[in-house]
Amino acid sequence: MIDEPISEKPAFDVETIVKLLEGQIAQHYDAYRMLSRWPIVLREANPEDVAKALVRVLSHGQYVRREQRSIVTNITITCSGGDPVAIADAVAKTVTARCS
């Protein structure tokens, strides 16, 4: 190990930066982790490699924004007696009024 030559390869080459970008876009890496990683990458990587990686990931339709997630609420009411349609209408009006 002592006699091994020092690698001329930069710590963060284009492929590594592309993997980091793609991982963050796909949400494999959380924001907290990446906030500590990106300053290191930007400090140690060749700026041209960073530019190439950004162009590669963000161009050519590879990056597609995810649709916004929405919350769906399902309500199940079981009742005996009474008018189920009237109960459903009352619940729908209440929910609509509160969500507006």
Residues 6+ apart with CB under 8 A from 56: 14, 18, 62
Closest CA to 24 of 44, 60, 61, 53: 53
C-alpha 89/C-alpha 91 separation (Å) is: 5
- 66-96 confidence digits (pLDDT tens): 666 666 667 777 777 778 788 888 888 887 7
Average pLDDT value over all residues in the chain: 80
- In the predicted model, what is the mean pLDDT of residues 14-20? 94
Give the CB-side neighbour count of residue 49, counting CA atoms within 13 A: 18
Q: In the 8-state DSSP scheme, what is residue 67?
A: P
Sequence spans of domains, the chain? 14-59
Cβ-based burial of 20 (10 A; exposed 0-12, middle 13-18, buried ≥19):
buried
CB 57 within 8 A of CB 63: yes
Instruction: Indicate if the pLDDT at residue 40 is higher than 90.
Output: yes
